[in-house]
Amino acid sequence: MLFTSIEFFLFLPLTFAIYWLLRKQLRWQNLLVVVASYVFYGWWDWRFLLLIAFTTICSYASGLLITQLRWRKVALWSNIVLNLGILGLFKYYDFFATELARLLGCSGDSVMLNLILPVGISFYTFQALSYSIDVYKGKIEPTRDVVAFFAYVSFFPQLVAGPIERATNLLPQFLRKREFDYAMAVDGVRQMLWGFFKKVVVADNCAIVVDIVWGDIGAYGSMDLAVAAALFSIQIYCDFSGYSDIAIGCAKLFGIKLMRNFNVPYFSRDIAEFWRRWHISLTTWFRDYVYIPLGGSRVAKWKVVRNTFIIFLVSGCWHGANWTFLAWGAFHALLFLPLILLGKNRKYTNTVAEGRWLPRIKELGQMSLTFVLAALGWVLFRSQSIGEALDFYFALVNGGWHGFNPPKRAIAFVAIMLVVEWLQRSRAHGLDMSGVRHRTVRYACYLTVLALIFMYGVFNETFIYFQF
């Protein structure tokens, strides 16, 4: 079920009403979450439910077995291998089997399984794995409440595209009684509204231009390609962060707090800051469960470089079975390298231009350079093959300046989004107007955003990160 579908707008108020009618019965309330989440997820294909249920049961059982000293490591690694094996089978088997067959001079079609990739499998697999690992490390006690655990793994707002929640944050919220918080719910609606604006107005209008240009790269000049690369950078940000805003806001309606997943990444002053602000739940997952166990930054410099490359290559692989994703990961690792060698990868941890309306010239230059580097990387991400990405780069440099026709509507919506997020860069989301005292101003902003959604929303049939 899509957040932008009619079905969801019928599903959400019905689930919300029943949920709070059951507020005095925690177990029944959690059971409703599970049933609603399985309806939400099964709307695409009911067969996906078998897979998420299997992952949930295995992770739940592993948590209990880890408490037995004799079985601790066996239980942990069995669950890790099993879940990553399932993920690898569905997501990577066809790609690597085909590549190996081609290397051996065989037909790739003969070894393909053509399995349907379950929506959001990478997200809920990592969420389930974090529980087992945290239990093993003693960060959380294993739960015996199977209903609460099913709710934790399948909670529908963040089920298919994150944020990837940790058991230490989300699971305890299903184990305690929840009271309706009016202010929290209202803020959730505001955040959802901003998420819908970013998705259907900004991202989907950018997508129209991006798809046309990428469909015939050779027909466009350098300026058109540069604008398309910039618009895709905005598209993927607004598509994914828009989903996260909707998910986080929706969770607030049910008294659940999810972690922030994006923190204005395009206002970053270097690529290290960008990665602290982009897809935060995945970045911190890799940091805590891969990078630090490898030694993190408290090892010899060459090992820090090695660990950084491993993290970015694994991140690229997580995003999909294509050489373009691995190349994208390697590209960002190379951008990270000078900062590591110079010890400047933690230089910017505060908000840019804090306490000021406008950035300084130096800050503006830093943000512009970081955006350009990220946009060049997104070309690899958007391309279907390394060859297509190279064609784009070549045409970007040698395409000339003929026939430039800037997409005015898309650029106007991008400008609105960037201005709002700049002004709200220290707040949780673009429509967090708790500091605005005048109700008239607040409601004028809400109604303007709502009007733009209804007048200019494109309502595409999917979100980019559903494929991951």
Is residue 362 in a domain? yes
pLDDT score of 361: 96
Contact 327, 309 (CB under 8 A): no
Environment class of residue 426 by beta-carbon count within 10 Å: exposed (0-12), middle (13-18) or buried (19+)?
Answer: middle
Angle at 311 between CA 306 and CA 315, to 5 degrees: 145
Q: Does one domain contain both 94 and 166?
A: yes
For residue 333, pLDDT beyond 90: yes
Alpha-carbon 13 to chain mean position: 25
Q: Does one domain contain both 194 and 172?
A: no
Cβ neighbours of 124 (radius 10 Å): 28
Q: Which of 123, 151, 179 is the last residue of a domain?
A: 179
In which residue are the tokens 């089920």 written?
Answer: 159
Contact 398, 218 (CB under 8 A): no
Give the helix ranges, DSSP H, for 22-120. Answer: 26-42, 48-66, 72-103
Q: Does one domain contain both 254 and 396?
A: yes
Q: Does one domain contain both 51 and 169?
A: yes
Q: Does one domain contain both 391 and 421?
A: yes
Catalytic residue flag (residue 319): yes
Reported as a pLDDT band with limits 50, 70 and 90, residue 108 is low
pTM of structure: 0.93
Is residue 62 in a domain? yes
Environment class of residue 239 by beta-carbon count within 10 Å: exposed (0-12), middle (13-18) or buried (19+)?
Answer: buried
Q: Which of 160, 179, 198 is the last residue of a domain?
A: 179
Angle at 360 between CA 357 and CA 361, to 5 degrees: 135
If phi > 0 it is left, if psi is from -120 to 50 it is alpha, else beta; for residue 457 that is: beta
Reported as a pLDDT band with limits 50, 70 and 90, residue 10 is very high
Which tokens belong to 142?
């294993």
- Reported as a single tens digit per residue, the pLDDT across 240-276 is 999 999 999 999 999 999 999 999 999 999 999 999 9
pLDDT score of 420: 95
Is residue 1 in a domain? no
Q: Does one domain contain both 46 and 140?
A: yes
Its domain, for residue 130, covers 6-179
- How many domains does the chain contain in total? 2
Q: Does one domain contain both 93 and 122?
A: yes
- Reported as a single tens digit per residue, the pLDDT across 187-213 is 999 999 999 999 999 999 999 999 999
Is residue 113 in a domain? yes
Look at 102-111, 285-294, 312-321 and tell me which has the smallest mean pLDDT: 102-111
Which tokens belong to 201?
């107005």
State percent of the chain over pLDDT 70. Answer: 97
Q: Does one domain contain both 152 and 247?
A: no
Look at 152-156, 178-182, 347-351 and tell me which has the smallest mean pLDDT: 347-351
Which tokens belong to 182?
């009016």
Read off φ and ψ for residue 365, nearest 5 degrees. Answer: -65, -40
Environment class of residue 197 by beta-carbon count within 10 Å: exposed (0-12), middle (13-18) or buried (19+)?
Answer: buried
Look at 121-130, 135-144, 318-327, 433-442 and tell me which has the smallest mean pLDDT: 433-442
If phi > 0 it is left, if psi is from -120 to 50 it is alpha, else beta; for residue 24 that is: alpha
Angle at 428 between CA 358 and CA 231, to 5 degrees: 65
Q: Does one domain contain both 72 and 126?
A: yes
pLDDT score of 416: 95
Which tokens belong to 408?
């005015």
pLDDT score of 70: 80
Is residue 300 in a domain? no
Q: Does one domain contain both 355 and 208?
A: yes
In which residue are the tokens 């005292």 written?
Answer: 437
Reported as a pLDDT band with limits 50, 70 and 90, residue 27 is very high
Alpha-carbon 127 to chain mean position: 13
Which tokens belong to 132?
């087992």
For residue 328, pLDDT beyond 70: yes
Q: Does one domain contain both 169 and 189?
A: no
Cβ neighbours of 344 (radius 10 Å): 12
Is residue 331 in a domain? no
Contact 207, 460 (CB under 8 A): yes
**Average pLDDT of the segment spanning 430-443:** 85
Q: Does one domain contain both 28 and 154?
A: yes
**Average pLDDT of the segment spanning 72-78:** 91
Q: How far apart are CA 317 and CA 312, in angstroms?
A: 9
Is residue 294 in a domain? no
Q: How far apart are CA 57 and CA 257, in angstroms?
A: 24
Cβ neighbors of 291 (< 8 A, separation 6 or more) are: 307, 308, 310, 311
Q: Which of 129, 160, 179 is the last residue of a domain?
A: 179
If phi > 0 it is left, if psi is from -120 to 50 it is alpha, else beta; for residue 300 that is: beta
Is residue 309 in a domain? no
Of these residues, 319, 332, 402, 429, which one is catalytic? 319
Reported as a pLDDT band with limits 50, 70 and 90, residue 468 is low
Helices 222-253 and 6-21: crossing angle, nearest 10°? 20
- Reported as a single tens digit per residue, the pLDDT across 170-193 is 999 999 999 999 999 999 999 999
